[in-house]
Chains A and B, each alone.
Chain A
Amino acid sequence: MSLVLDIQGLAVRRATGGLLARLRGTGREITIVDGIDLEIAAGTTLALVGESGSGKTTLAHAVVGLEPIAEGRVVVDGLSAEGWSQGWYGGPWRRLRRQIGVTFQDAVASLDPRMTVAASLAAPFRIHGLRGLDLRAEAARLLDQVGLPRAFLDRYPHQLSGGQARRVSIARAIALKPRLLIADEPTAGLDLSVQGEVLNLLVSLGRDLGLACLLITHNLPVARRMAGRIAIMYLGRIVETGPAEAVFANPRHPYTRALVNARGSGARALVGEAPSLASRPSGCEFAARCPEAQARCRAEAPAETSIEAGRRIRCHFPLADASPSREIAADPAAGGGLRAAAVRSKGANRRI
């Protein structure tokens, strides 16, 4: 199958410190994402999972040129804008962006409040200079595709519910029949009863249009159902990647295990918090919170290694294959996760 998105060795850095510090040469650069390798084939979905600040959105923005690329290359459907500044409005970036549809986290805010739905849906055609089309008819066709009545053409964003705004933003993203769809937290802020509608729509559009889809989410159950492959990010690096079912059934990185178990039973809650990007540890980023960490982890950053076909990991001491034996099954309170918290809290030490 052909690769639609091919990212090799991508890094994004940002200068910090004020103008004076930069002029003096004492300003610093912080690395936001680093060493990213990702491939997505046509018709498949990759879920990028991580907590806030892990760099998921920055990575997506780098793909469309909303963040400067410090290192590495991004190829979308055979096209690359390498060497061209993002600010360059014509040329390679425009050709590249035509192949990419993006839905942003805050769907309502991503629509211009002064434009009707019809105008918002016509904007991609205008920007890319496609003439000779009946733009209102195109907008109506797009609304059909995302399951909204045509009466919505003349509405403004403030007249839309969260789920409807999400559908409009998906319609806009697929307007130019892109090869790649980037969906950044498509369920953020939606009620549970509405989330399913948006996710089912993304699944059916991906199938019907043969889209490659980069799904950014912090919701693991959603990632598991939506994506064939999954990549787990922590502090700007991908720590584990592989087929979604295999990663869930048998996490090999300790951070993945903590995430997978957070809502089931398994390891206790992780201690501490992710380190700050400004003071990135010299060794493994996860070492300070990792229950398996050893001296080597704090000294030396692990390289990305392949542990089995299609599965890569950044860890000096990967968890054993089929690891659930770590849990003590007889005593649920000895484990962790919500269920164990329930057992502990409902136990004998209540004062109530």
Chain B
Amino acid sequence: MDAPLLEMRRLSVVYRTSGGPVRAVRDVDLTIRKGDIVGIVGESGSGKTSLVSAIMTLLPPKATIEGQILFGGRDLYGLDAKQRRALRGNGIATIFQDPFTAFNPVTPIGRQLVEFQHWRRDLDDGARWRRAEEMLVRVGLGDPGLRMHQYPHQLSGGIRQRIGIAAALLTDPLLLIADEPTTALDATTEMQIIELLAEARSMVDGAIVFVTHDMALVGAFCDRVAVMYAGELVEVAPVDPAFSALRHPYSRALLACDPARLPEGCREFPTIPGHVPAPFARRSGCIFEPRCGQAAPVCATTPPPAVVAGDGSIVRCHRVPA
């Protein structure tokens, strides 16, 4: 088996605030290999944004990390700023949630796409331009010559997101991070981008991390799902259309809340009662215990261990039989 492409070891992200330190991500262990397509799912406050920011080494200055992130065996936070920057342009690429702010508004698209390839020392600007045009065709834009000369504000959200995907693919990333890439788009545009991302899988010679709050999208093209709740990774499981491998009570409850999954004739919308605990709060037991319908006395007192199965699945729950 290949060495892992990305390995998080007891990773925590801590923000210094006036109210004391806030641990937005706590003790996450996750291994991603070449060829993996992993969906990271969580609601607001789950820490998924902090987690991917840590992978991208784009955390704000008031944040520190504990534990390690190894990318190709190298500790990301042992690198100096210059080495990290080189990695962001080359090894790790990101498709951002908001295609409206991902581009420089005062520079034509073509020049930005050429600049993204600055690390390709073997190519001159003419070759970089041609490569960018070819990539625009590959992401389904029929008139690349026109797009290259346009400014971001002249493009619709769907076209901008296609260009965002082209920009990420131009760097031949080993790790492609797609951070809620369709959240800002309409249903029919979302469909187009999902189809494009599904095709893009064959263009990435590495791994894809797909961050979303939408289980249906994970079901569409991820192989594994990692479910986060209140800063903790509660479950990692293989994906099938029915998500039959999910066993953690939070994962099951979240899945049941999707209105598209309600049984026929059902008029009552399921909810998860209670609230996500405040990030300051430290619990002695399981983080989900106050909202869990299956909680036992042990859940309130002892943090559940991470049970790792043979296929790499992880579940953190006292109530799930090993």
A residues whose Cβ falls under 8 Å from a Cβ of B: 51-52, 161, 191-197, 199-200, 203, 218-222, 224-225, 258-259, 262-263, 268-271, 273, 336-339, 341-342, 344-346, 349-352
Contacts and interface: CB of A to CB of B under 8 A. Distances in A.
Given A161-B275, A192-B258, A270 B202 contact: no
Contact of B216 (A191, A199, A338): A338
B258 to A, nearest CB: 6
Nearest to B253: A193
9 contacts: A191-B43, A194-B271, A195-B257, A196-B271, A221-B262, A270-B192, A273-B159, A342-B221, A351-B204
Given A225-B259, A270-B191, A200 B221 contact: no
Contact of A269 (B44, B195, B202): B195
B303 to A, nearest CB: 22
A329 to B, nearest CB: 16
Contacts of A195: 257, 259, 269, 271
Interface in B204-222: 204-207, 213, 216-217, 219-221
Contacts of A197: 269, 271
Contacts of A161: 275
For this complex, into which size category does the number of interface residues on chain B fall? 35 or more
A219 B258 CA distance: 11
A221 B221 CA distance: 21
Contacts of A218: 186-187
Contacts of A271: 192
A94 to B, nearest CB: 35
A337 B270 CA distance: 25
A191 B213 contact: yes
Contacts, number: 124
Interface string B187-207: 111111011011101111111
Interface in B223-273: 223, 241, 253-254, 257-260, 262, 266-272
A196 B191 contact: no
Contact of B219 (A51, A192, A342, A349): A342
Interface string B26-65: 0000000011000000011000000000000000000000
Per DSSP, are chain A's interface residues mostly helix, strand or loop, or mixed?
Answer: helix
Contacts of B272: 193
Given A191-B43, A192-B213, A269-B188, A219 B195 contact: no
A344 B198 contact: yes
B304 interface: no
Interface centre among A200, A339, A352 (most CB of B within 10 A): A352
B202 A339 contact: no
Contacts of B194: 269, 338, 341
Interface of B: 34-35, 43-44, 156, 158-159, 186-192, 194-195, 197-199, 201-207, 213, 216-217, 219-221, 223, 241, 253-254, 257-260, 262, 266-272, 275
A112 to B, nearest CB: 24
B262 A342 contact: no
A219 B241 contact: no
Contact of A219 (B192, B205, B259, B270): B259
A290 B254 CA distance: 36
A350 B254 CA distance: 30
A208 B127 CA distance: 68
B7 to A, nearest CB: 18
Given A193-B254, A263-B187, 18 more contacts: A51-B188, A51-B189, A191-B43, A191-B213, A192-B43, A193-B272, A194-B271, A220-B187, A222-B259, A262-B188, A269-B195, A273-B156, A273-B159, A336-B195, A338-B191, A341-B220, A342-B219, A342-B241
B66 to A, nearest CB: 27
B187 A262 contact: yes
A273 B189 contact: yes
B220 A352 contact: no
A347 to B, nearest CB: 9
A225 B262 contact: yes
A270 B216 CA distance: 19
Contacts of A221: 258-260, 262
A259 B191 CA distance: 10
B259 A338 contact: no
A97 B202 CA distance: 56
Contacts of A350: 201-202
B135 to A, nearest CB: 16
Nearest to A193: B272
B198 A349 contact: no
B257 A196 contact: yes
User: Nearest 10 pairs between A and B by C-beta?
Assistant: A345-B198, A196-B269, A269-B191, A221-B259, A193-B272, A196-B271, A51-B186, A338-B220, A191-B43, A352-B35
Nearest to B270: A196
A220 B258 CA distance: 12
Contacts of B213: 191-192
A222 B254 CA distance: 16
A332 to B, nearest CB: 10
A192 B220 contact: no
A345 B187 contact: no
A195 B268 CA distance: 12
Given A262-B188, A344-B199, A193 B267 contact: no
A103 B186 CA distance: 22
A55 to B, nearest CB: 14
Contacts of B262: 221, 225
A352 B189 contact: no
A271 B95 CA distance: 22
A337 B191 contact: yes
Nearest to A164: B275
Interface centre among A193, A336, A346 (most CB of B within 10 A): A193
A62 B68 CA distance: 56
B44 A191 contact: yes
Contacts of B271: 193-197, 200
